[in-house]
Structure 1
Amino acid sequence: MLSLKSLSVACALGTTVLMGCTTHSADLKNTEKPSKTSVTLQSHHWELQQALTAHSAPDNQWKVPSSNEGSARAIGLNFSADQRINVDRLCNSIMGSYSTQGEQIKISRLAATMMACSNTALMQLEQNVAQQLPKAKTWKITDGPAPILELKFEGGASWQLKGTPTHETLYGNSQRIFLEVAPQKVACSHPLTPNAQCMRVREIQYNGQGIKQSVGEWQNYYGSIEGYQHQAGVRNVLRIKRFTRDQVPADASKYIDVLDMAVESEIVR
């Protein structure tokens, strides 16, 4: 059995304030949502659509290499209200801080979790992104049905990122929960998917000091956790942001679970 712990449990539980810990929504049940909010850095998740050189030519070095699953993805940026920036859609989670003054933006040196990836091109892109973002000089949002964030870097290169509302913008505050995910999926009954395979999960409760208080029963998990890709043979403890829908679509859960961070990862042989 090989243990691969990328960040301390204390950081994940919020019992200690450490550089590099990700942020989370208030640990409250869903409250009344605003009917309309203006587009801000914090209100949307930003996905890279186009990168340009200083001479306005397409710069393809920032494209995410294809994964084994073949699913297309792009570099994503999240800006929190407490001035933390998080980069996703790569291998590790890249984190740091930022500040703005008018159209000026300053991004700190970034830190990353230490999960190894088999895709060496993805690992190299991750390092390049961590070096590029602190070079950002200005930002500008063009509002519209799909708002665009433009980041300009020293030297004249730029990124254009498309915005989609964050879950906090759409659903309000989230509840923080911890789920342990078993290393193997199991056969399960699903009305829409023949021969379905489900994750097995159980909820873990911690106290304010980060000490485990209770562990729930194993259950089949019929949906998906946004931002989480299950790997056979890997046991994970995940910190989850759970949002509650006001209007639940047919054959859907009233909850939307979003990966906040992996607390523990362990290869089970």
Structure 2
Amino acid sequence: MKFRWTWCLPLIASVTLAACGTTEGGGGASKPGPSGPAGDAASLTAYHWKLQQAFTPAGNDDQTWFLSSSQAPIVLDFADQRVLVKNLCNVMSSGYSVEGQRINLQRAMSTLRACNDNQLMMLEQKVARILPTAKQWNVQLGVGTEQPRLTLQFIDGTRWQFNGQPTAQTQYGSAPERMFLEVGPERKACSAGAGRHQCLQVREIRYGDNGVKTYTGQWENFYSEIEGYKHEAGVSNVLRINRYKRQNVPADASAYAYVLDMVVSSTLENKRK
């Protein structure tokens, strides 16, 4: 599936807010926070931030930012001076900058995907309206097994709290190598370590700077898994992958970790020539 980006209409105007206030404003009954030190701006990019709690301007718990338990909560990813908002109908992308504890968001773009879930679409529109009004941020790092916490406060007093999960680069401690893999529609039996395994069938693809395909490799067994990718039988996919060099690798494990960055295209098997 190929995505197109367009300007998200609710976010036409650029917003630069420098209002003063405390990140923990309001009287909401927050869960106990981590016991670690405050994080700097780099800590924003070091984690995937999953929404855990939300509070109204009056400080009351606000469940309207969450849908059913089967729907994944909102996730924010900060990278390359952009923030991605995930787990809505579409993925939103907005430029951001920070100055101390203030955060400024530019106008956002969004993918254009059909959404048959009216509640999810309404939530997406609600997020689109409030996102550019974020005015302050605060990260509190955890100690030991504690998860870090990100708090975002908006100009109307609404407050969101997120728990952080390390990004792949934080987890593996190295910058990734970008690559493209085509994944075939069916797994095949293969020998992996001490037993039999059902391997993905992959081949490497390379593109020139102009986006034209310059190389297509041979099909081969893929003995690892791709983090973030769920294979669906009968569907082939071209994936953009971030490959990380692993540290202290066991003798029977792959020297690399493969993390899904984006599904570039998908093709049903019965439509393949």
- Tell me how far 1:172 sits from its aligned partner: 1.5
Q: Which has the higher contact order (CA 8 A, sep 6+)?
A: 1
CA change 1:218–1:141 in 2 (3 A) is same
Q: Matched residues in 2 for 1:126 and 1:186: separation?
A: 39
Determine the structure 2 residue equivalent to 1:77. Answer: 76
Using a 3 Å threshold, how does the CA distance of structure 1 residues 65 and 251 change in structure 2: closer, same or farther? farther
The corresponding residue for 1:200 is 201
Percentage identity across aligned positions? 45
Deviation at 1:256, TM superposition (A): 1.4
1:108 aligns with 2:109: no
Runs of at least 5 residues in structure 2 that lack an aligned partner in the other structure = 9-38
TM-score by length of 1: 0.74
Equivalence map 1:168-187=2 (5 Å): 168-170=169-171, 171-187=173-189
Q: Give deviations 1:188-220, integer Å, cap 9, x for gaps.
A: 4556887x5443221101122222111111223
1:58-111 CA-partner distances (Å, limit 9, x unpaired): 2222235455xxxx743221112x311112344543212111122211222322
When normalised by structure 2's length, the TM-score is 0.73
- The size of the alignment, in residue pairs, is 235
- In structure 2, give the amino acid aligned to 1:179: L
- Equivalent residue letter for 1:87: V
RMSD: 3.0
Written as runs of structure 1 = structure 2, the 5 A alignment for 1:1-269 is: 4-7=1-4, 40-63=43-66, 65=68, 73-80=72-79, 82-116=80-114, 119-145=117-143, 146-170=147-171, 171-190=173-192, 196-249=197-250, 251-269=252-270
Higher radius of gyration, 1 or 2: 2
Distance in 2 (CA, whole Å) between partners of 1:47 and 1:122 is 17
Give 1:229's aligned amino acid: K
Deviation of 1:123 (Å): 4.2
Structure number with the higher strand fraction is 2
Quick one: distance in 2 between partners of 1:120 and 1:199? 35
Aligned partner letter, 1:48? L
